Amino acid sequence: MFYLLNVKRVPCNIYELLTPRGLAFWIIDDGSRHGDRLHISVYAFSNEYVDKLMFTLQYKFNLKCSIYYNRDKKPCIYIFKESVDILRSIDGTYFKEMLYKLGL
């Protein structure tokens, strides 16, 4: 689903596909703490797909986030400090392994 002709993409139904468990694994894999924010690397995706991922995080999980471009002009999704508590409350079972990324 995430590859079409060996090109990474975001499925059109990502809103239905992304579960709290999937979000936890995504953050464990591609997330890192930057000050009081959480940064998710989305370098392999086009701007259209990055937008789709960010809007999914905003609407499905009620996370305050934005897109940031690093020095190499690669996109990242920042999850703001105000949303870290929301991440912790989504499901502690999945997030226990990544609490260090949230500064806990």
pLDDT, tens only, 9-63 = 999 999 999 998 889 889 888 988 888 888 899 998 999 999 999 999 999 999 9
Quote the pTM value: 0.86
- Name residue, tokens 């105000």: 82
Residue 50: enclosing H or E segment and its boundaries?
A: helix 47-61
Does a structural domain hold residue 14? no
pLDDT of residue 89 exceeding 90:
no
The pLDDT value given to residue 28 = 83
Residue 10 lies in a domain: no
Number of separate domains in the chain: 1
Asked if the structure places residue 11 within a domain, the reply is no
Provide the 3-class DSSP secondary structure of residue 29: helix
Domain of 45 in residue numbering reads as 31-102
Q: What is the pLDDT of residue 90?
A: 72
CATH of residue 63:
3.10.28.10
User: Do the domain assignments include residue 9?
Assistant: no
- pLDDT of 102 > 80? The answer is no
Q: What is the Cα Rg of the chain in Å?
A: 13
47-51, 58-62, 82-86, 98-102: least confident range: 98-102
Would you say residue 71 lies in a domain? yes
Label residue 54 exposed, middle or buried (CB < 10 Å: 0-12, 13-18, 19+). buried
- Does the residue 87 lie in any domain? yes
> According to the model, what pLDDT value does residue 97 have?
64
